[in-house]
Each structure stands twice: as structure tokens, then as C-alpha cells.
Amino acid sequence: MGLRGSFPSSSSSWVAIILVLNVVVMCNGGKTSTFVRKVEKTVDMPLDSDVFQIPPGYNAPQQVHITQGDHFGKAVIVSWVTVDEPGSSTVIYWSENSKEKKHAEGKIHTYKFYNYTSGFIHHATIINLKFNTKYQYVVGIGHTPRQFWFITPPEVGPDVPYTFGLIGDLGQSFDSNKTLTHYELNPQKGKTVLFVGDLSYADNYPNHDNVRWDTWGRFVERSVAYQPWIWTAGNHELDFAPEIGETKPFKPYTHRYHVPYKASKSTAPFWYSIKRASAYIIVLSSYSAYGKYTPQYTWLEEELPKVNRAETPWLIVLTHSPWYNSYNYHYMEGETMRVMFEAWFVKYKVDVVFAGHVHAYERSERVSNIAYNVVNGICTPVRDQSAPVYITIGDGGNLEGLATKMTEPQPEYSAYREASFGHATFDIKNRTHAYYSWHRNHDGYAVEADSMWFFNRYWSPVDDSTNSQS
Ligand SMILES: [Fe+2]
């Protein structure tokens, strides 16, 4: 209910209104959804599931996936795996307008992990693409060619509409399949997925069975071969297993998923940035050092001042471990990174931070907690219109199951929380407005279980909190 009608003139009426507003503020711990999902165990899809099917034909390329290949959207990295022999690393591609066929040459990587040897992993970067153009591409030249397509983003600019999908902690369970299907059939039609970490969960299997990296690659191909997924590293990408002699963190992940980190002057593939349409996306790593003087810290310190909001109004950060999380799972795991970087996010007016890790959904109000200096005792989050909204979207459906236990009462900073699997979309309309919605797997494809109009923090920093919109 809003405050409408004529304003009262007497001071007693004002006191009454102020009292009412105070009660609203004090009682507002946000909403804990009453939606009750059927309690059932999350189970991985068996190896002979149709979604894991190996494409027929000798040395047929499999696990085809694409991501942005440069800083501003005119390049695409195409990756795939062949298993019988290395085969060709060439991508043949053409725009639907010109039909002139072009070639890009890739490179082949392999790796061993304990008793597993990978297939031949190809990565080829296509450069100098035209914006806003549909391209067909073919891999598997010489043996079993397979054809796919993608659409390049519009040229970077402040009022370019664009729709991102948000998926995290996907895994390869029956619930994961539902999440991906709901994303694909969502009428809002996401054009690029911002993936907030934890891909295959192969590390949950004996000896981190890397066969489950392959099955995951085949499972998600139906989406990621046709639209880029922007990768964030989660803890399940670490694959750190000294007990079986595997001591190099991120080995399978870095061999299989390439990102354009050098284009943003990053020195490692775990933190980097891209521009896409009207968004500037910064990817951070919860599992790489971020203390002062570390490469990630130094990079981010130099990166944030570079963001030109007149060119890319929407500043979005992806990281795996959430900073504001009121579930009892992974509680405060993001705290040390928050302590290091939160003041910068407020200073540079980040619009939204997406994280995963907690297997549930939560959206915060705009809050910050940056006043504490060890001795002053000021250590409570406060409403802050320069602060981002923090969204935990680790509800992709992996086999570890849902996080259902929450901190009670719901903290004031938490606007909405619910223990259901799902995905979200972030639909940028122009430089001032973006429409965000979260979709749970138990509903129909078009149903929005939670939503929010975002007002851009640089161009229109009005109060867009849940209170002000209700
Ligand atoms: Fe995680």
C-alpha cells in the first residue's frame, strides 16, 4: 500500500505517520517465501541418460560451447572435444547475410587427472565479427561436421536493451535439467548466461571422476553451443585432491573453459571483465587470493575506475561465494572478500552482485557495511542507495540438494528468500531501467516467483528497495 491522498496538516497526524513508518522499517526483515516444495532427494541423471548422449559419427565433436572472446563482443571462443583422434581444430563460420565462409584455427589441449585422460579439447577464437549478426558455424571438419549458430551482441552503448540469464551451481541432476529447460523456455529469452560458478560437480565422485566433466559438457551443449555463457569459478572447479596426487587447483576447469581474461589485462582466467551491450560485467574469484597486493586485488583496484557508465551504465559483478547470505549454509564464507572490496562497490556504485554457492535463492536490499574500523563498533549493515543489490542464485539443481535452514529472524538486509531451485533473468531496458525476475522450477515457464525493477545507480539512483516498491 502506498501513501496517497491529501497530506495531513496537524502535527499529531505527522507523528502517527512517522510511527507507522517506523513500525514498517523495524518489522521489515523482508519476505521468507511460504512456498513449500515437495521434499525429494536430488539425484544425478544416470550416465545413459539421453542428455548425455555422445553424438553419432567418427570423432564427432561433443561438448560444444561458446563464450565471449574479447572485451566488447566482436569475438567468440568456440570450444569442443573430440575423442577418437585430435582431428581438425578449424571452425568454419559465415554470417547469414554474406554466406562467405571463413575459417578460424584453434589449438588442442589435453590433460590427465589421476587415472583419467581427457579427450582432445579444442579452443578456437573467432575475431572481427559484426555486431548484432547471426552466424552459423561448423566444427568437426574432415570427420563428422556438426553445425551450430550464435548471434553476436549489439554494439556496446548506453541504451542498448539486452537480456541476461542467471544460472548457478547447476550440476547434472534431474533438477539441473529442469532448471536448464525452464531457462530455455522462459518467454523472456535470455541471450547470454551469466554463470556464477560450480559447473559439473565431478569432484563429488570417487577420485573426482572427470567423466562427469564430459557428461556435463554434453548436457549443457544444447544451450551453450548457441549462446555464450560467461564463466565464474566456484569451489567445485578447484579439483584440489592431494590424496590422489592432484595438487594444481582448477586443472580440469581451466583446460575445458577458456575465458578472454587477457583482454581486460587480467593475469589469470579467474578474474576478468567484459562489456556486452549496455553492461559491464566483472567476474571475481572467491578461490583465488584477493588480499591487498595480490594480483586479483591489484587488478580490481585498477579495473573499477575504468568503467565508463556513459558507455556501459550497468555495472554487474559475478562471484561465487555470496557476501550477504542468511541461510545457515556457507554462512559468512564470503565475509573476507566483502571486507576487502565492499567499500569499492559502494564507491563505484555497482548495480548488482550475483553469487551462487548457497543452494537456494535470496535477494537483498541495497545495504552496505563499511563503517567498521575494529574499534568503533559500527558493524551492522545499513540501507545504502549507493550499494548493490546482492542476489544468491546458487539454485541450479546440483546433487547436493537444497539449503533449507535459514537464520531466524530474517535479517533486515534480506528482501526475499526461498529454498527452491530455479534461474533468473536480468532484462536491461535502457540506461535507467532493468527488470529482474526469478523463476522457480516448480512453476510454469512464464511465472515470476520474485521480481524487481532495478533503477541504475549511476543514471537514476532513486530508492528501488522492496519497501519503496510495495
Ligand atoms: Fe559452491
Residues 342-401 have pLDDT tens digits of 999 999 999 999 999 999 999 999 999 999 999 999 999 999 999 999 999 999 998 888
pLDDT number for residue 397: 93
Mean pLDDT, the chain, whole residue set? 92
Overall residue count recorded for the chain in this entry: 470
364-385: b (≥16 Cβ within 10 Å) or e: bbbbbbbeeeeeeeeeebeeee
Sorted by sequence, the CB contacts under 8 Å of residue 468 that are 6+ apart come out as: none
Is pLDDT at 118 greater than 90 in this prediction? yes
Q: How far is the CA of 355 from the centre of ligand 1 (A)?
A: 9
Q: How far is the CA of 322 from the centre of ligand 1 (A)?
A: 10
Domain extents for the chain?
159-197+270-469
Give yes or no for a cis peptide into 409 (omega within 30° of 0).
yes
What pLDDT sits at residue 38?
60
- Of the ranges 127-131, 276-280, 464-468, which one carries the lowest mean pLDDT score? 464-468
pLDDT in the model for residue 254: 98
Percent over 70 (pLDDT), the chain: 92
* pLDDT at position 420 over 90: yes
Q: Identify whether 109 is a catalytic site residue.
A: no
- Going from the Cα of 218 to the center of ligand 1, the distance in angstroms, rounded, reads 21
Buried b (16+ CB within 10 A) or exposed e, 16-48: eeeeeeeeeeeebbbbbeeeeeeeeebebbeee
Which neighbouring-strand residues pair with 352? 316, 389
Question: What's the gap in Å between 330 CA and the centre of ligand 1?
Answer: 9
Residue 97's pLDDT is 85
Name which of 182, 212, 165 is nearest 421 in CA terms. 182
- Cα of 276 to ligand 1 centre, how many Å? 26
Q: Which of 120, 119, 124 is nearest to 67 (CA)?
A: 124
Buried b (16+ CB within 10 A) or exposed e, 98-108: eeeeeebebee
Confidence of residue 24 (pLDDT cuts 50, 70, 90): very low
Architecture of the domain whose range is 159-197+270-469: 4-Layer Sandwich (3.60)
Q: What is the 3-state secondary structure (H, E, C) of the chain?
A: CCCCCCCCCCHHHHHHHHHHHHHHHHHCCCEECCCCCCCCCCCECCCCCHHHCCCCCCCCCEEEEEEECCCCCCCEEEEEEECCCCCCCEEEEEECCCCCCEEEECEEECCEECCEECCEEEEEEECCCCCCCEEEEEECCCCCCEEEEEECCCCCCCCCCEEEEEECCCCCEHHHHHHHHHHHHCCCCCCEEEECCCCCCHHHCHHHCCHHHHHHHHHHHHHHCCCCEECCCCHHHCCCEHHHCECCCCHHHHHHCCCCHHHHCCCCCCCEEEEECCEEEEECCCCCCCCCCCHHHHHHHHHHHHCCCCCCCEEEEECCCCCCCCECCCCCCCHHHHHHHHHHHHHCCCCEEEECCCCCEEEECCEECCCCCCCCCCCCCEECCCCCEEEEECCCCCCCCCCCCECCCCCCCEEEEECCCEEEEEEECCCCEEEEEEEECCCCCCCCCEEEEEECCCCCCCCCCHHHHC
Model confidence at 99, pLDDT cuts 50, 70, 90, reads confident
CA atoms within 13 A on the CB side of 350: 26
pLDDT at 468: 60
- The Å distance, Cα 2 to ligand 1 centre, comes to 40
User: 311-320: buried (b, 16+ CB within 10 Å) or exposed (e) per residue?
Assistant: ebbbbbbbbb
Q: Is the dihedral of CA 289, 290, 293, 296 positive or negative?
A: positive
What's the pTM? 0.93
- Among the options 330, 357, 359, 423, which is catalytic? 330
Q: How many CB atoms lie within 10 A of CB 404?
A: 15
